[in-house]
């Protein structure tokens, strides 16, 4: 039986590399596109000798519509993009170029290749500051250019569905975490920051009082959600990807262990995030399977993998987020 082909943009990144792992385990042929600005080849080294795996170093901003890597592709999983809040405030045009125009380039390639489904990695940041459980039809509130760029990317995806009939689904990811997580970015970056601090026996830098909570969802569960969104008969849908069971930051630091230091709250951030996942459970028959404590324990067993990560302290954080406080401070 002929293997299905999948293209994973941003496949050397955190979530993208786990998507590659899952697809290859499911007997797909996988073509990865990544410019390695945020991803790393080491995230894919376990597949280097797999004949069903192909890597192409390519920037989606330079992607042409009839790129041969999309030929005969069944599914496209679009993770490529940039995801840090502060740099988006400093250089919004770069975010629009990558997360919007880059997404349009991927959409055009998928359209010309007549793919069966494109699944877009959207961001729960589109919900803005909210302290309640959010459903997919909740009000959109864009607090910074990163959130705007990801939402405009999502709107583009739905426009290609409406005008060109491209089959798509969009998954709004909450706080993904797990092995290979970065120490910067839009997902569970705080965990990597804490790990590096623990390695160096430095206090964990907790924003605010640590009582805020985040809907942490394990990256392997996220990858399974994307595959379910590709295989489903449903198209043109938005799904939240979380657990519906948020965890307090103080609980996370207690699991990691060590001293803590508390730093100022950041404007433009919610105290709590919580996904309503009833739609994805109902339509895609997906649900999270990894317990948060087990997921963190599994990461702690490999904590030395974060030894080369940058070390953050209160002074560095204050300097790095200065523009954040200046432009997004509460009125």
Residue 63, C-beta contacts closer than 8 angstroms, at least 6 positions apart: 33, 102, 105, 106, 109
Q: Which residues of 57-95 are buried (b: 16+ CB within 10 A; e: fewer)?
A: ebebeebeeebebbeebbbbbbbbbbbbbbbbbeeeeeb
Where would I find the H helices in 98-248?
102-113, 145-164, 189-199, 219-231
The Cα 217–Cα 241 span in angstroms is: 8
Note if 146 is an active site residue: yes
Q: Which of 146, 177, 187, 239 is catalytic?
A: 146
The Cα 130–Cα 134 span in angstroms is: 8
- Nearest Cα neighbor of 158 from 146, 173, 172, 145 is 172
- Give the angle 92-58-64 at the CA atoms, nearest 5°: 85
Estimate the share of the chain in helix, then strand, then coil, as percent rounded to the nearest 5.
45, 20, 40
Helix (H) or strand (E) holding 240: strand 237-241
Residue 155, C-beta contacts closer than 8 angstroms, at least 6 positions apart: none
Q: Please give the positions annotated as active site.
A: 146
């Amino acid at each position: 039986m002929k293997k299905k082909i999948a293209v994973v943009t941003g496949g050397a990144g955190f979530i993208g590399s786990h998507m590659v792992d899952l697809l290859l385990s499911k007997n797909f042929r996988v073509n990865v596109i990544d410019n390695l600005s945020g991803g790393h080849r080491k995230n894919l080294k376990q597949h280097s000798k797999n004949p069903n795996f192909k890597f192409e170093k390519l920037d989606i901003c330079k992607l042409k519509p009839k790129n041969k890597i999309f030929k005969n592709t069944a599914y496209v999983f679009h993770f490529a993009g940039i995801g840090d809040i502060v740099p988006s405030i400093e250089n919004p045009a770069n975010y629009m170029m990558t997360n919007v125009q880059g997404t349009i380039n991927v959409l055009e390639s998928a359209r010309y290749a007549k793919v069966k489904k494109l699944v877009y990695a959207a961001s729960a940041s589109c919900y803005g500051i909210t302290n309640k459980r959010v459903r997919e039809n909740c009000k959109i509130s864009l607090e910074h250019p990163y959130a705007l760029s990801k939402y405009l990317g999502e709107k583009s995806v739905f426009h290609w569905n409406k005008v060109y009939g491209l089959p798509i689904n969009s998954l709004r990811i909450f706080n993904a975490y797990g092995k290979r997580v970065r120490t910067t970015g839009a997902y569970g970056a705080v965990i990597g920051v804490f790990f590096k601090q623990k390695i160096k026996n430095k206090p964990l830098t907790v924003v605010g009082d640590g009582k805020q909570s985040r809907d942490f969802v394990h990256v392997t569960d996220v990858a399974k959600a994307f595959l379910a969104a590709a295989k489903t008969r449903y198209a043109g849908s938005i799904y939240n990807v979380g657990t519906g069971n948020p965890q307090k930051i103080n609980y996370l630091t207690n699991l990691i262990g060590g001293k803590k230091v508390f730093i100022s709250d950041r404007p433009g951030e919610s105290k709590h995030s919580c996904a309503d996942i009833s739609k994805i459970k109902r339509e895609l028959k997906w649900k999270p399977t990894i317990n948060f404590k087990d997921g963190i324990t599994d990461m702690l067993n490999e904590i030395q993998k974060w030894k080369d990560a940058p070390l953050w302290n209160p002074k560095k954080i204050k300097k790095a987020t200065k523009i954040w406080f200046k432009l997004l401070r509460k009125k």
